[in-house]
């Protein structure tokens, strides 16, 4: 597997996803190597939880990333990642290479060709989606092109929701027949906070009123600005309401300028701190404008917290309104306030939402089932690749007129 983030280096949800998938595959008896970016203080190579982890340090000099333009850094990163991956390949036999998003695309295609094994790509999000269909700068358009290239070169494309399947079909021309929907998973036990930790989080953040929380990377598409605009409406009915925004990102200073009384920016919360915050909250809000899946909503549900989510992207598929959570129109602060207020106003209703949501997390989003589904995709990729090689062999003998292509 190739990923630009992996514990202990975490930027967003992608690293947690790759970690959970890799460790679950190992627990099921598979051999997994993850090649990723080096983190300060981490070993360059180790077996962690049964996963062989190869960490590639950046080559000097350091690249400055300005205005979101990561292309120079990404090109250099793929060079060092490829070097590390090829070294790792000397001591192992691999059946498939699995790339996670555009930042590892160049390495993924190189490994596919060098090792002569099928390439599977997971498209976690798209540059077009992150910018609501508008690609404002040359580097945004280049990222879009790289995503299209990776999707074209992969023999199977994995996406996390039916919404994302439609998106990669529309944007990149990926045929639906070679696109597989595999939901993200949640370790339900991981998100159950200890009662003392929950009490401490309430003492730290809640005060005497209800507590709302959000956690995620602070970027425009997460829609935190609309949650902040909803706070004054909510405080009219709940004057002691507190709202905690956990996370960091390039949009943080602008969001802090929008904050009104009762809002706390807690910064990045890791591990048990985030679990405790979710468990202590009376409602967890996901106000995203663009959300390919919405794993954080399931994590909050696993923590036993009722969720209010924007009716967009994958969130529409994982939350059933009035059953496992409530939904509201994205980009509409009044609708966000109404949905969240309905949860805060009726404790029995909130409790029933939380109980049903937690049960669904256990049944439909457990990692063993999701890892098994991913293995099935690997099997399809190998079968398609073998069939393709056979067709090419026949073509060389003059039996079947065909051309070499990385997809089916």
- Mean pLDDT, all residues of the chain: 91
Confidence band of 102 (pLDDT split at 50, 70, 90): very high
Q: Report the half-sphere exposure of 79 (CA within 13 A, side-chain side).
A: 8
Q: Can you tell me the mean pLDDT for 178-193? A: 91
What pLDDT, on a 0 to 100 scale, did the predictor assign at position 190?
Answer: 86
Confidence band of 96 (pLDDT split at 50, 70, 90): very high
- Percent pLDDT > 90 in the chain is 80
* CATH level 2 (architecture), domain 13-185+369-396: 3-Layer(aba) Sandwich (3.40)
More confident residue, 340 or 186: 340
What pLDDT, on a 0 to 100 scale, did the predictor assign at position 387?
Answer: 67
What pLDDT, on a 0 to 100 scale, did the predictor assign at position 297?
Answer: 94
More confident residue, 181 or 61: 181
What pLDDT, on a 0 to 100 scale, did the predictor assign at position 24?
Answer: 97
The CA distance from 15 to 9, in Å, is 8
Q: Can you tell me the mean pLDDT for 165-187? A: 94
Q: Can you tell me the mean pLDDT for 5-12? A: 90
User: Is it the case that residue 399 has pLDDT exceeding 80?
Assistant: no
What pLDDT, on a 0 to 100 scale, did the predictor assign at position 9?
Answer: 92
What pLDDT, on a 0 to 100 scale, did the predictor assign at position 395?
Answer: 52
- 250-272 pLDDT, tens per residue? 999 999 999 999 999 999 887 78
Q: Can you tell me the mean pLDDT for 85-93? A: 90
Confidence band of 407 (pLDDT split at 50, 70, 90): very low
Task: Specify the 3-state DSSP secondary structure of 167.
Answer: helix
- Percent pLDDT > 70 in the chain is 95
Q: Can you tell me the mean pLDDT for 346-360? A: 96
Q: In what order do the strands lie in the sheet with 283-286?
A: 263-267, 242-246, 211-215, 283-286, 307-310, 326-328
The CA distance from 117 to 105, in Å, is 15
Task: Please report the DSSP string for 249-281 in residue order.
Answer: -TTHHHHHHH--TTEEEEE---HHHHHHHHHH-
What pLDDT, on a 0 to 100 scale, did the predictor assign at position 67?
Answer: 79
The CA distance from 122 to 179, in Å, is 10
Domain layout of the chain by residue ranges = 13-185+369-396, 189-364
Element (H, E) at 186: none
What pLDDT, on a 0 to 100 scale, did the predictor assign at position 204?
Answer: 94
How many angstroms separate the Cα of 339 from the Cα of each of 299, 311, 369?
A: 19, 11, 32
What pLDDT, on a 0 to 100 scale, did the predictor assign at position 380?
Answer: 96
Task: Please report the DSSP string for 357-405 in residue order.
Answer: HHHHHHHHS-HHHHHHHHHHHHHHHHHHHHHHHHHHHHHHTTSS-----
| Domains 13-185+369-396 and 189-364 in one fold | yes
Confidence band of 403 (pLDDT split at 50, 70, 90): very low
- 214-241 pLDDT, tens per residue? 999 899 999 999 999 999 999 999 999 9
What pLDDT, on a 0 to 100 scale, did the predictor assign at position 11?
Answer: 83
Task: Specify the 3-state DSSP secondary structure of 153.
Answer: helix
Q: Can you tell me the mean pLDDT for 155-171? A: 95
Domain 189-364 has CATH 3.40.225.10: no
What pLDDT, on a 0 to 100 scale, did the predictor assign at position 402?
Answer: 35
Q: Can you tell me the mean pLDDT for 153-177? A: 95
């Amino acid at each position: 597997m190739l990923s630009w983030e992996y514990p202990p280096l975490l930027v967003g949800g992608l690293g947690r996803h790759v970690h959970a998938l890799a460790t679950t595959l190992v627990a099921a008896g598979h051999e997994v190597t993850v090649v990723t970016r080096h983190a300060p203080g981490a070993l360059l190579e180790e077996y962690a939880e049964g996963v062989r982890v190869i960490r590639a340090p950046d080559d000097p000099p350091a690249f400055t990333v300005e205005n979101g333009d990561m292309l120079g850094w990404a090109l250099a990163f793929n060079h060092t990642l490829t070097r590390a991956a090829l070294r790792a390949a000397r001591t192992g036999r691999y059946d498939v290479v699995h790339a996670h998003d555009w930042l590892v695309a160049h390495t993924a295609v190189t490994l596919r060709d060098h090792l002569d094994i099928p390439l599977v790509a997971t498209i976690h999000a798209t540059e077009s989606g992150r910018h609501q269909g508008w690609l404002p700068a040359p580097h945004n358009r280049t990222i879009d092109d790289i995503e299209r290239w990776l999707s074209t070169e992969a023999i199977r494309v994995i996406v996390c929701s039916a919404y994302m399947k439609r998106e990669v079909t529309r944007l990149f021309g990926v045929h639906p027949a070679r696109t597989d929907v595999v939901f993200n998973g949640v370790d339900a036990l991981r998100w159950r906070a200890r009662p003392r930790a929950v009490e401490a989080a309430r003492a730290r953040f809640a005060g005497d009123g209800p507590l709302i929380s959000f956690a995620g990377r602070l970027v425009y598409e997460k829609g935190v600005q609309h949650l902040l605009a909803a706070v004054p409406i909510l405080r009219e009915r709940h004057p002691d309401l507190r709202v905690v925004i956990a996370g960091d990102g390039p949009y943080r200073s602008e969001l802090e300028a929008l904050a009104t009384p009762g809002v706390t920016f807690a910064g990045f919360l890791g591990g048990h701190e985030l679990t405790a915050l979710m468990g202590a909250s009376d409602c967890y809000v996901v106000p995203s404008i663009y959300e390919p899946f919405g794993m954080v909503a399931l994590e909050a549900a696993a923590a036993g917290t009722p969720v209010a989510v924007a009716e967009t992207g994958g969130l529409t598929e994982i939350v059933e309104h009035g059953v496992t959570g409530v939904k509201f129109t994205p980009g509409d602060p009044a609708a966000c306030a109404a949905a969240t207020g309905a949860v805060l106003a009726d404790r029995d209703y909130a409790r029933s939402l939380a109980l049903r949501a937690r049960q669904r997390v256990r049944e439909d989003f457990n990692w063993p089932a999701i890892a098994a589904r991913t293995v099935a995709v690997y099997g399809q990729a190998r079968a398609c690749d073998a069939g393709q090689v056979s067709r090419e062999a026949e073509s060389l003998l003059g039996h079947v007129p065909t051309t070499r292509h990385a997809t089916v």
